[in-house]
Structure 1
Amino acid sequence: MTTGVRRRMGVEERRQQLIGVALELFSRRSPDEVSIDEIASAAGISRPLVYHYFPGKLSLYEAALKRASDDLAARFVEPREGPLGARLLRVMGRYFDFVDEHGPGFSALMRGGPAVGSSTTNALVDSVRQAARDHILVHLGVQEPPARLELVVRSWISLAESTALIWLDGRRIPRAELERQLVHDFAALAAVSAAYDAEMAALLHRILRDETADGPFADLVTRLTALAG
């Protein structure tokens, strides 16, 4: 971050700098608590110059959210190689990296922040969820998901969001445990759905067939077996 340094920048370069400065400030405090004066000072420019590039705080906030949402959606990108459980565990690791690094900003993105109810904010949140859904289906090798699989995937994405938001409130559960638990949650949701639907049962069988003995899905089976005993 540039502090107290004035230099001539092109329009787009300056806009990107301001977005970066705003994101860094939003990662430490709620966007509601960050003023335009703070952003200007951190960027090394005057308050009026900030308004030259952005009509107001809301437009800067939405631009920062756009960059954050693109970053968060990219955390779900994972090569389709190896067992699904290990892939989802790596995805959850990157997801919680973002949550850990951008706590207040993540909360603002998912809860709307100062732009609660705005069409732009809602669209950004939906874009992250849609990207996550699409990437998970790629991992599953499914292009046109049946209704029950759609329900499993979207329910799991919502669960990951709510788990991350609750975790941010005190971080009372070790992060690594939550990452693994969320992968177990995906398997559990799929297993319950498979009990009602033959197509889901076939998909679950295919997923489990490729798992390794030391993978997260096998770990879940071991834990449940121990409970049943």
Structure 2
Amino acid sequence: MTTGVRRRLTVEERRQQLIGVALDLFARRSPDEVSIDEIASAAGISRPLVYHYFPGKLSLYEAALKRAAEDLADRFREPHEGPLGARLLRVMRRYFDFVDDHGPGFSALMRGGPAVGSSTANALIDSVRQAAYVQILSHLRIEEPPARLELVVRSWISLAESTALLWLDGRRVPREELEVQLVQDFAALIAVAAANDGPTAALLKPLLRDEPGDGPFADLVTRLVLLAA
């Protein structure tokens, strides 16, 4: 009978393991509440060994923050096929999947957590917002947006972020409704911008012509008409 030989992890493999363990713990509790001892225990190693790979909790937290930020930024990637409203709805569903699965970690990511004020944390948060901005512009088929449209897209990204943070505090509104609402918020914001800015209107008209009657954009128009009746 042969016995398996346990392979020794390389330095990078051990670092990635610790980051994964930390993210799992941060998904359930705020990083402030998770100790190095807990991370070491969950990883099956000693506390001093954790410090061998990371100088302190802050450096481990920032490494975990980086992985979470990359994951969250990827949620905005979507094939450029089909109506814009349907694409944005799929993006919001993936976004809220992340929020739902990593509640405390998401809050820590967007509010700074133990790394609040650090240049690393601020840069990572900004990278998520910028990645989202670039992806939304790509769906609008625009590289250099008019000033009003840039304001709309960046404002909407901030709205999605704040909505998710508020939703985590009690989850009083079904997330499926919020996902649709945020897509309709986007439609309302760009409609206001287009009504007041010719260049924005010219860019958006071709996209909106492709929206189906049963999509989230058309549903918003129907609801507004009924509201005004």
Q: Structure 1 length as normaliser, TM-score? A: 0.96
Q: Secondary structure at the match of 1:172?
A: coil
More divergent stretch after superposition (176-185 vs 193-202): 193-202
Shift of 1:199: 1.1
Shift of 1:94: 0.1
Following the alignment from structure 1 to structure 2, what is the Cα–Cα distance between the partners of residues 166 and 41?
Answer: 33
Indicate the residue corresponding to 2:172 in structure 1.
Answer: 172
Shift of 1:76: 0.3
> 1:61-87 deviations in whole A, cap 9, x for unaligned?
000000000000000000000100000
Assess if the C-alpha contact under 8 Å between 2:140 and 2:204 holds in 1.
no
Indicate the residue corresponding to 1:133 in structure 2.
Answer: 133
Assess if the C-alpha contact under 8 Å between 2:89 and 2:180 holds in 1.
yes
Following the alignment from structure 2 to structure 1, what is the Cα–Cα distance between the partners of residues 76 and 25?
Answer: 25
- Cα RMSD, aligned residues only: 0.9
Indicate the residue corresponding to 1:34 in structure 2.
Answer: 34
Indicate the residue corresponding to 1:3 in structure 2.
Answer: none
Following the alignment from structure 1 to structure 2, what is the Cα–Cα distance between the partners of residues 176 and 200?
Answer: 29
Indicate the residue corresponding to 1:216 in structure 2.
Answer: 216
Which letter maps to 1:16? Q
Indicate the residue corresponding to 1:78 in structure 2.
Answer: 78
Indicate the residue corresponding to 1:63 in structure 2.
Answer: 63
Assess if the C-alpha contact under 8 Å between 2:19 and 2:60 holds in 1.
yes
Which letter maps to 1:195? A
Following the alignment from structure 2 to structure 1, what is the Cα–Cα distance between the partners of residues 36 and 146?
Answer: 47
Indicate the residue corresponding to 1:144 in structure 2.
Answer: 144
Following the alignment from structure 1 to structure 2, what is the Cα–Cα distance between the partners of residues 142 and 42?
Answer: 46
Following the alignment from structure 2 to structure 1, what is the Cα–Cα distance between the partners of residues 161 and 140?
Answer: 20
Following the alignment from structure 2 to structure 1, what is the Cα–Cα distance between the partners of residues 226 and 59?
Answer: 53
Following the alignment from structure 1 to structure 2, what is the Cα–Cα distance between the partners of residues 45 and 59?
Answer: 18
Indicate the residue corresponding to 1:25 in structure 2.
Answer: 25
Indicate the residue corresponding to 1:123 in structure 2.
Answer: 123
Following the alignment from structure 2 to structure 1, what is the Cα–Cα distance between the partners of residues 85 and 145?
Answer: 19
* Equivalent residue runs for 1:100-111 within 5 Å: 100-111=100-111
Indicate the residue corresponding to 2:97 in structure 1.
Answer: 97
For structure 2, the 5+ residue unaligned runs are: 1-5
Shift of 1:8: 2.3
Which letter maps to 2:176? A
Q: Structure 2 length as normaliser, TM-score? A: 0.96
Indicate the residue corresponding to 2:47 in structure 1.
Answer: 47
* Equivalent residue runs for 1:187-226 within 5 Å: 187-226=187-226
Shift of 1:145: 1.1
Indicate the residue corresponding to 2:227 in structure 1.
Answer: 227
Which letter maps to 1:109? L
Shift of 1:7: 6.1
Q: Secondary structure at the match of 1:29?
A: coil
Following the alignment from structure 2 to structure 1, what is the Cα–Cα distance between the partners of residues 215 and 156?
Answer: 19
Following the alignment from structure 1 to structure 2, what is the Cα–Cα distance between the partners of residues 86 and 195?
Answer: 23
- The number of residues matched between the two structures is 224
Determine what percentage of the aligned residue pairs are the same residue. 83
Which letter maps to 1:90? R
Following the alignment from structure 1 to structure 2, what is the Cα–Cα distance between the partners of residues 22 and 7?
Answer: 22
1:8 equivalent to 2:8? Answer: yes
Q: Secondary structure at the match of 2:196?
A: coil
Which letter maps to 1:25? L
Q: Give the 4+ runs in structure 1 shifted more than 2 A.
A: none
Q: Secondary structure at the match of 1:195?
A: helix
More divergent stretch after superposition (218-227 vs 49-58): 218-227
> 1:9-66 deviations in whole A, cap 9, x for unaligned?
1100000000000000000000000000000000000000000000000000000000
